[in-house]
Structure 1
Amino acid sequence: MRTLKRILLALVVLLILAAVGFIAIGLIFPKITYKSEVVINKPVDKVWEYYVDEGKMAERIDGFLKIEPISGSRNKPGDKSRLSFDRDGHQIVMTETITEYKEQKTFAFRLENEVITDDARVTFKAAEGKTIVSQEDTIVGGNILWRSLFAVLRSSMKSNVEKLLLNLKTNLEQTP
């Protein structure tokens, strides 16, 4: 009986240490940043036109459902929209605020909801008839648990952005 109590106590202590360790990750890494890049065999004007076309968002973003304007002038800093996505049968709604818009050069935005804030900056650079598209994301979780989880899942989140950029490349290169 005494041995069982010691084992249970040890398990409780280990669980507490694991929880404290997990929370510490969010304190040590309150935000995460990553950068992804793709080269598209199309000129920058065609890539830009496709990227900013709201009607094409469902083609390049898996699970995208709709975009609804909230306020501001379209494609100007301060422009706010509500984006809806389907993830495994669950609808996720996020608010997008454009933070920078320079035609054929930069599209920066903040995507946020109660779980996450993602400040993304997408740049477009012409290179010998091709376009280099780079996206840098800075992610902050809505609370300490989300921050810890996002720090642990950083590589998975970066992979998702790389997949989005590859979808962009594939869709553009398949069109004449």
Structure 2
Amino acid sequence: MKILKYIVIVIAILIIGFLLLGLLKPEVAYDSEIVVNKPLAEAWAVTQDEAKMADWLPGFQKVEHVSGTPGTVGAVSDVYFINEGQEMVIRETITNLVPNETIEMTFTSDFMNMDYKLNMAPMDGKTKITSSTTTVGNGILAKSMMALAGSSIKAQEETNLENLKKAIEQNTKDYFPVEQTMKEGEMTIENEEIN
């Protein structure tokens, strides 16, 4: 009987400790950074291209627009992922947007809420990309789980950014065909002037 009593006490202490962890550390915040060997405009275009999102966000399936004007502040979308064979939907709201510089979003789900900021800056013909993330679990169990999983969540963001770096550096899509057409038109005019 004494052994059973000790087992119950140990289990109770572990449960209380687990729940306290969520109270003591209710949010997880982290920053990540990469440098990509492409100019800023192209790096920005790749990150905003829905067709490229599966290349850098594991399990990404699709985005469904809910309200607002897509790609602008206030736009709300549902983002679908497959995670361990289960469909997961996260609601995304754009809270700040400065093209070729920064995008800030909130993500909400049953399990957690996340504030996410992605910044880009030119750096000697390359692009420096930084992300800042703050996550908070919804409910005491989720908060405790987030506190325990903090390092793995940060590791996932670093993996996502490394995948983004590959997607940008391997990009072959021409996001600026108007500029190319204008250059070709200028060349034609110059050739006509020479003749």
TM-score (norm 2): 0.86
SS in 2 for 1:104: coil
Instruction: Give, in whole Å, the separation in 2 of the partners of 1:26 and 1:136.
Output: 21
* Counterpart in the other structure of 2:112: 116
Who wins on radius of gyration, i.e. which is larger? 2
* Counterpart in the other structure of 1:34: 30
Output the amino acid matched with 1:73: T
Of the three residues 133, 137, 142, the one matched with 1:137 is: 133
* Counterpart in the other structure of 1:160: 156
* Counterpart in the other structure of 2:46: 50
Q: CA deviation at 1:171?
A: 1.4
Please state if 1:173 is matched with 2:169: yes
Output the amino acid matched with 2:42: K
Q: CA deviation at 1:94?
A: 0.7
Q: CA deviation at 1:101?
A: 0.6
Instruction: Give, in whole Å, the separation in 2 of the partners of 1:66 and 1:141.
Output: 24
Q: Pairwise CA RMSD of aligned residues?
A: 0.8
Instruction: Give, in whole Å, the separation in 2 of the partners of 1:100 and 1:166.
Output: 24
SS in 2 for 1:73: coil
Q: Residues 5-154 of structure 1 correspond to what in structure 2 (within 5 A)?
A: 5-154=1-150
Moved over 2 A (4+): none
SS in 1 for 2:87: strand
Q: CA deviation at 1:64?
A: 0.5
Q: CA deviation at 1:174?
A: 1.7
Instruction: Give, in whole Å, the separation in 1 of the partners of 2:171 and 2:73.
Output: 30
Q: CA deviation at 1:128?
A: 0.4
Instruction: Give, in whole Å, the separation in 2 of the partners of 1:45 and 1:20.
Output: 50
Deviations 1:53-112 (A, max 9, x none): 112111221110110000011121110000110011100011000011100110111111
Instruction: Give, in whole Å, the separation in 2 of the partners of 1:92 and 1:136.
Output: 22
Deviations 1:118-163 (A, max 9, x none): 1100000111011111011000001111111111111100010011
SS in 2 for 1:131: strand
Instruction: Give, in whole Å, the separation in 1 of the partners of 2:120 and 2:87.
Output: 30
Contact kept, 8 Å, 2:95 with 2:106, in 1: the verdict is yes
Instruction: Give, in whole Å, the separation in 2 of the partners of 1:123 and 1:145.
Output: 32
Gaps of 5+ in 1: none
Gaps of 5+ in 2: 173-195
**Percent identity over paired residues:** 34
Instruction: Give, in whole Å, the separation in 1 of the partners of 2:171 and 2:76.
Output: 30
